[in-house]
Amino acid sequence: MNQIPAVQATEKQLERLRAQRALYSRAKTLLGIHVIVSVPFAALWSILGVFYSQTKVYAAVWGIAVVLLDIGFFTPRQRTLKAKAAKIQEAFDCDVLSLDWRCIHAGNRPDPEDIVYWSHRAVPDAKLKDWYPPAIGQLPLPLARAVCQRANCWWDAELRRRYAAVCIAVVAAVLLITVIAGIIGHFQVEQWILTGVVPLVPVFMLGLRQSIEQRDSADRLDALRRHAEKMWAEILAGAPEDRLTHESRELQDEIHDNRRRNPLIFDWMYNLLRTGQEAQMNRAAEDLIEEAQTRLRLKL
């Protein structure tokens, strides 16, 4: 009843998905470098400080340098890559979900040269072919859009909550190690702070910021998911199609904004949770399709 499954499987759309995946991967690589210079190296300085007190000055300088690199390079570059990836994803969604492109909101469409360049740098992934559950092809377009947009929001929110919990666990573990090191070294409080805590400030900043940002993002996505569910109910109640298209377009604007602003999640976490979440998403789509078909039959 709609062309979403067929359109999303075309080479043009798969190329866009590969491009956005490569852009996000590059941004995550930068985040990984940031984490490496923040966490293991900071922990090393802290351990060295336990046994060699003369290293505490170098440890403090290292901590300050990492913070400055974060502000001056890592964060701005990641923001640029995320914005470009979100724009390419928006082009995919507009074509697949049959929504107009909003220049006033998203700017100009992504350059084809950028899409080609980044798509060639993506790791092959056969699962990109069915970005949205194929079963939605059984629904009228307004209902299928609502299912896809709801799936977008649910998927992202669930992933981010789990990742936020991991970040807090890492911060707690690092703090515990620091306390144990201080006890072993018989440090005074002042010495413990200078030698054990100051070098780890980038670790605490990174972990806490990641956790807070991931949870905030998940909360925003939950609000968008509830809006998609409200739209679903309106469609089944017989709301006019032009109004529903307008609401879908407004919701898509918010989804695009969220993609630009969302903090990154490492690929290893994404891949770890992906299979289970895909099964949940597909099952939810099947339940919604069954509900829609039952209610539409009753109306007939």
Q: Tens of pLDDT along 71-83?
A: 888 889 999 999 9
pLDDT value at residue 197:
65
**pTM of the predicted model, to two decimals?**
0.79
- Binned at pLDDT 50, 70 and 90, residue 172 comes out as confident
Residue whose tokens read 């859009």 = 145
How far is the first Cα of the chain from the last one, in angstroms, to the nearest whole number? 17
Tell me the one-letter amino acid at 246. H
Torsion, Cα of 179, 183, 185, 187 (10° steps): 80
4 in Cβ contact with 69 (< 8 Å): no
By C-alpha distance, which of 71, 29, 18 is closest to 266?
Answer: 29
Count structural domains, the chain: 1
157 in Cβ contact with 218 (< 8 Å): yes
Where in the sequence is the domain holding 286, given as residue range(s)? 4-299
Dihedral of alpha carbons 138, 140, 146, 148, sign: positive
Q: What pLDDT, in 10s, does the model give residues 49-106? A: 656 666 666 767 777 777 788 888 888 999 999 999 999 999 999 999 999 999 988 8
Distance CA 139, CA 157 (A): 25
